[in-house]
Amino acid sequence: MDIATIIGLISGSILILSAIFLGGNASIFVNAPGILIVVGGTVAANFIKFSMADVINTMKVALKAFTVKLEPAEKIIVDMVSYTRIAKKEGLIALEKESPSDEFSAKALSYLSDGYDEGLIEEMLIKDIQLTEQRHTIGQKMFKGMGGSAPAFGMIGTLIGLVQMLANMNDPASIGPSMAVALLTTLYGALIANFICMPLADKLAFRSEEEQNNKKIIMEAAIGISRGLSPLVLEESLKIYLSPKNRAKMSKDDTEGGN
């Protein structure tokens, strides 16, 4: 569970709702036709832009922003180094007994234990990384598209409301409420775009980068194991993927563990 995403949504919702309730009658911010125009129009536009399969897959990808917590790169390096020690001591075939928590690591170890050559392992793992990145990119594009469509449909709703207001200018009492309803659709569009869609697109992009980095570490380790690198050499080569701070911390932990 990604706590940061949950905290952001809850705290943002509380702040917005507090501003609404403290300002007076909260019911004036609820308008069914406006919600239908903005939400319905945004979703409909998405179905026009993308295929049904892409839309469904994106919903699954979006859940990752809330439910999936990726393992730290340092933990992955420690795991891959331990597999290197096993391969050195018992041979590559011994890796088939290992059960990594993530699917990509399991796939890499399976290729090694099955005796795939270095080139084939690299080719297949790179293909997996590329296809995963492609799926993630579609999800990001979809949320960015929704972030762009929502304000546009908000403006459409506002224009519809203004037309209806101008058509009833003979009734001055209805002008104020009609204008409020017209402006509500702009508010809905802005909220959906800037509070939900665009932040989720950015979160998915960040998560994608993290996952790609982890997979590159695993691929690099698998190639190193196939080449017969020593655990120490492999660990040092994998530390390149870490930030200087985490690299130093990991080196310090290794020193303390050795003592």
Q: What is the pLDDT of residue 149?
A: 94
Query: What is the rounded CA–CA span in Å between residue 147 and residue 192?
Result: 7
Lowest mean pLDDT, pick from 43-52, 81-90, 165-174, 177-186 = 165-174
Residue found under tokens 């919702």: 13
Q: What is the pLDDT of residue 234?
A: 93
Q: What is the pLDDT of residue 256?
A: 59
Q: Where are the domains of the chain?
A: 1-30, 31-72+120-258
pLDDT digits (tens, 9 = 90+) for 92-117: 999 999 988 889 999 999 999 999 99
pLDDT digits (tens, 9 = 90+) for 183-222: 899 999 999 999 999 998 998 888 889 899 999 999 999 9
How many CA atoms does the CB half-sphere of 94 hold within 13 Å?
Answer: 11
Query: What is the rounded CA–CA span in Å between residue 75 and residue 64?
Result: 20
pTM of the model: 0.81
Q: What is the pLDDT of residue 181?
A: 76
Terminal C-alpha separation, the chain? 35
* Residues above pLDDT 70, as percent of the chain: 95
For range 13-25, the mean pLDDT: 87
Closest CA to 211 of 60, 104, 127: 104
Lowest mean pLDDT, pick from 132-141, 189-198, 242-251 = 242-251
Query: What is the rounded CA–CA span in Å between residue 213 and residue 71?
Result: 11
Side chain identity at 75, as an amino acid letter? K
Confidence of residue 41 (pLDDT cuts 50, 70, 90): very high
Work out the mean pLDDT of the chain and round it to a whole number.
87
